[in-house]
Amino acid sequence: MTEGAEGLRSIPALLHRNATRFAKASAYREKEFGIWQSWTWAETEKQIEALALGLLNLGVNEGDFVAIIGRNRPYLYWSMVAAQSVGAIPVPLYQDAVAEEMEYVLSHCGARFVIVADQEQVDKVIEVQEHLHQFEHLIYLDPRGLRKYDHTRLHQYSHVQDQGRAAYDEFIPELKRRREKLGYDDTCVMLYTSGTTGKPKGVVLSNRNIIETAKASSEFDHLKPNDEVLAYLPMAWVGDFIFSIGQAYWTGFCVNCPESAETMMTDLKEIAPSYYFAPPRVFETQLTSIMIRMEDAGPFKKRMFHYFMKHAKEVGPRILDGKPVGFGERLKYALGELMVYGPLKNTLGFSKVRVGYTAGEAIGPEIFSFYRSLGINLKQLYGQTEAGVFITQQPDGEVRADTVGVPSPGVEVRIDDSGEVFYRSPGVFVEYYKNPESTASTKDAEGWVATGDAGFFEPDTGHLRIIDRAKDVGKMADGSMFAPKYVENKLKFYPNILEAVVFGNERDKCTAFINIDLSAVGNWAERNNISYASYQELAGHPKVLEMIQNHVEETNASVAQDEMLSGCQIHRFLVLHKELDADDGELTRTRKVRRKIIGEKFEDLVNALYDGSDSVYTETEVTYEDGRKGKIKATLSIRDAKVLPVAPKSMAAE
Amino acid sequence: MKDMSEGYVTADGRKIGGVLMEMKNITLRFGGVVAIKDISFDIREGEIRAIIGPNGAGKSSMLNVISGFYIPSEGEVFYKGSKRPQMRPYQVAQQGIARTFQNIALFEGMTVLDNIMTGRLTNMKSNLFQQALWYGKANEEEMANREKVERVIDFLEIQSIRKTPVGRLPYGLKKRVELARALAAEPSLLLLDEPMAGMNVEEKEDMSRFILDVNDEFGTTIALIEHDMGVVMDLSDRVVVMDYGKKIGDGTPDEVRNNQDVIDAYLGVAHD
């Protein structure tokens, strides 16, 4: 068969190529016991083979689903490839999901085998196992605390590998047979979408989807075998699968795993990746912490920082885009690099970033330009699980904060009459597992997939601009357009605002819930001698409300300038007494707002926003990290924000 | 109480061995004050043994006797089968006994890593001169000890604060660092003086999990003093109850819970 890119039709095939071509180059690194441990491609192949043999020994059949749960560790990435090697389908799950969420996914795909990281995950699986009819064996990585467990269906990862090695002669012919049988249209991986609405759906991606996407995107950004990435985003997320498996195996670069979630920033600094991906939230948090630390710095450092940052903002992005910049300005920028930008980038771990991406949410223009002005080539992409990530991305030199770039290589994009974005590409998913209705309603016979996002191409540049989720875009009572996300994003660009939810569909005016950012507002409170005992108290402090009111009014002023959306100014708002949380179902696991659920859960608050009252009393159920539930009570005050007059243009729009 | 001279098996299937330490008729006086009055009990290999009692019952004094810091006025201490002579604290440490303190006793200005490294001091053979110049065995020794320390850091999940000075840490984490330092010495008997005092529920749960894991993973014998009854009853295999310097109860958590003297001591009883 010659089908497949360079005749390589599966991840195990790519692994074999890498183990031959880059045998001595590092494939994986993980910090453990304070030292970076590394595995070459040749060693990786051996490890994966041992595990695959062990899985055969346990009786994994072709077409079985193998669920994988845990934080980013080389061993778990190997599990995915080992599962593929024996013809099974890996299904990575979000490790912070509670047991019931796992139960749904595990029983939906009917996983016979589950490979987990540690005791915490073992406990969750055991908790729900009696509802899982097909579940048979559980393999764990870290034996700690598991000594006393019943081991009839429980196996330690290293023992499975040992048994695999011991039974090498017995199983190797079968492993080879299965490995070589893997075709371009066989399933590579199944990933569950986080589901802003309803139950998660299993997106089936074939080897063709993954390899074609990895090939096209690696070429687009000229990725090289000596590139380094830090794998820290959830393994269940399609982006991580493409970066840490698809592109890594296609290109042959090294995947680095942090020591623990808390040490991510230190590990980032030590590794200094050359190819980096982070959701806007990570960049926001980093910028907030830089700004907080600069506030505490000495006056000389502070002045130097602000002086050079001002210069960087003017010329940094232009240098990055290869536009003409005067000699004097370049010299001053070089001095700034020496004094401020270089050390700062080093501290952040961005010294070597050649290509950086952000996606998932809109990024604040301020934040975006901050990183670009430092000389970090941060770009935006627009993607979906169903597309194998890439739909559009920004080419080098054409980067802007408010667009998501041009269609990725091999991707066709069109906008239908209602403004919804559709795409078609080799990366388009096969189907939603056991859900033909959803598959049919998302993907048409010609392979066009509805994104559910409303957007348009900018006529001058050909770049795509996304306005909002198509189903969230509504109409106000007076018929003008309502795009909540657009306003929410503007609000969220203020470091003090963590999350915002705007209401107003089919109403006469817009209102909003605001979540404060505890670290930013807390630091501000400390500097201004405002004492508080809890999140709730800080969120309800009159001075905080005043500050948020200023932000809302500034946002209104900026919204008013957009002709189409000037009706979306916020008339009234309140600051929520609790942080919106995925454990309470208010956010998805990828931290996107679940508008409808929030609207229903806090119905009393929404009503209060519209009935003109000054304050409202509410009781809310919350879920603690350990799964227990409690109630918090609060009286929230509601504030009116200044709005700018809207020009009556609904007539003209007719 | 059932005969347990050959050890016993706990409800969750752990095998408890023979006697590791035995206290025989211990009395401790400070001038006219009698802190401990004629107390005898034993600690078995592999068990979690708790000492509880109301304030001023003499728990910490008892722990100090076990650790060799106080010399009992009367009575004898047997450790690993032989009678223990009067010892300096470092000799106690060399015998494989490590402890944590009720009031945290860490070096505030040093990093977490350095603090835990001090727990390895008794295992270092190179002298000051060699260590200063990285001469002789010093280098090798440092690496071997660092590896042991890193395993403890990994075990207690404190990788993210490895290089943080202890003074900057919150209370709950300092407690964990103390435990780490004690564990770094690879003790056969670990003494914990109120490991959960002043912690919130979540920190207590974490610490309980660590104590159980230490016992399970390394087979370390643990003697602990604790105020939180819920924690004690969940964690320990056997409990000694003290009140006004006397032993008023000894046995499994269930036995102790139903002991009338213990109930009286905790809930109060009318004196007539």
- A148 → closest Cβ in B12, B155, B205: B12
A365 touching chain B per CB within 8 A:
no
Domain range A474-653, its CATH number among 3.20.20.140, 3.30.300.30, 3.40.50.1390, 3.40.50.1110: 3.30.300.30
Look up residue A447 and give its two tokens: 């392979």
Cβ within 8 Å, pair A34-B160: no
- Nearest chain A residue to B151 by CA distance is A33
pLDDT mean values, one per 10 residues, chain A (654 residues) = 72 95 95 93 96 95 95 96 96 90 92 94 93 92 87 94 95 95 93 76 94 93 94 92 95 94 91 92 86 87 93 89 88 92 92 90 82 91 90 89 89 88 92 90 90 86 84 81 85 87 89 91 88 90 93 89 81 91 81 85 90 87 77 88 69 37
- Nearest chain A residue to B205 by CA distance is A626
Cβ within 8 Å, pair B212-A145: yes
The CA distance from A95 to A227, in Å, is 27
Cβ within 8 Å, pair B160-A266: yes
- Structural fold of domain A1-18+34-184: Rossmann fold (3.40.50)
Polymer length in residues for chain A: 654
A625 touching chain B per CB within 8 A:
yes
Query: Mean pLDDT in chain B?
Result: 86
Q: How far is B136 from chain A (nearest CA, A)?
A: 24
pLDDT tens column, A309-342 = 999 988 988 888 888 888 999 999 999 999 999 9
Cβ within 8 Å, pair A145-B213: yes
The CA distance from A28 to A39, in Å, is 5
CATH code reported for the domain at B97-186: 3.40.50.300
- B147 → closest Cβ in A33, A625, A626: A33
- Nearest chain A residue to B12 by CA distance is A148
Domain ranges of chain A: 1-18+34-184, 280-468, 474-653
Best residue in B9, B12, B154, B215 to probe A by mutation, most A CBs within 10 Å? Answer: B154
Contact (Cβ atoms closer than 8 angstroms) between residue A430 and residue A183: no
DSSP H helical ranges for B22-137? 59-66, 89-94, 112-118, 128-133
Say what the pLDDT of residue B271 is: 60
Fold agreement between A1-18+34-184 and A280-468: yes
Say what the pLDDT of residue B210 is: 92
Q: How far is A1 from chain B (nearest CA, A)?
A: 48
The CA distance from A545 to A497, in Å, is 11
Residue that is written with structure tokens 């206290």 in the block: B23
Q: Kindly write down the DSSP assignment for every residue of A111-172, as one continuous string.
A: -SEEEESSHHHHHHHHHHGGG-SS--EEEES--TT-TTS--SSEEEHHHHHHHHHHTHHHHH
Chain B residues with beta carbon closer than 8 angstroms to that of A262: 159-160
Cβ within 8 Å, pair A260-B159: yes
Say what the pLDDT of residue A337 is: 92
The CA distance from A374 to A315, in Å, is 10
pLDDT tens column, B79-109 = 888 888 888 878 888 888 999 988 888 999 9
- Structural fold of domain A280-468: Rossmann fold (3.40.50)
A534 touching chain B per CB within 8 A:
no
The CA distance from B26 to B11, in Å, is 30
pLDDT tens column, B12-63 = 667 788 889 999 999 999 888 889 999 999 999 999 999 988 888 888 899 9
Helix (H, G, I), strand (E, B) or coil at B187: coil
Q: How far is B74 from chain A (nearest CA, A)?
A: 41
Say what the pLDDT of residue A332 is: 93
The CA distance from A362 to A368, in Å, is 10
Residue that is written with structure tokens 């915002």 in the block: A500
The residues of B whose Cβ lies within 8 A of any Cβ of A are 12-14, 146-147, 150-151, 153-155, 157, 159-160, 162, 202, 205, 209, 212-213, 216-217
Best residue in A30, A33, A119 to probe B by mutation, most B CBs within 10 Å? Answer: A33
A145 touching chain B per CB within 8 A:
yes
- A33 → closest Cβ in B154, B212, B213: B154
Cβ within 8 Å, pair B159-A148: no
Fold agreement between B1-92+188-194+221-272 and B97-186: yes
Q: Which residues contact A498 (CB under 8 A, 6 or more apart)?
A: A492, A515, A516, A517, A518, A579
CATH code reported for the domain at B1-92+188-194+221-272: 3.40.50.300
Q: Is A602 exposed, middle or buried (0-12, 13-18, 19+ CB in 10 A)?
A: buried
- Residue A250 CA, chain-centre distance (Å), reads 22
Element at A334 (helix H, strand E): helix A327-336
A1 touching chain B per CB within 8 A:
no
Strands A65-69 and A89-93: parallel
Strands A254-257 and A26-32: parallel
Q: Is B50 exposed, middle or buried (0-12, 13-18, 19+ CB in 10 A)?
A: buried
Say what the pLDDT of residue A473 is: 81
Contact (Cβ atoms closer than 8 angstroms) between residue B36 and residue B62: yes
Chain A residues with beta carbon closer than 8 angstroms to that of B10: none
Closest CA to B195 of B48, B92, B13: B48
Domain ranges of chain B: 1-92+188-194+221-272, 97-186
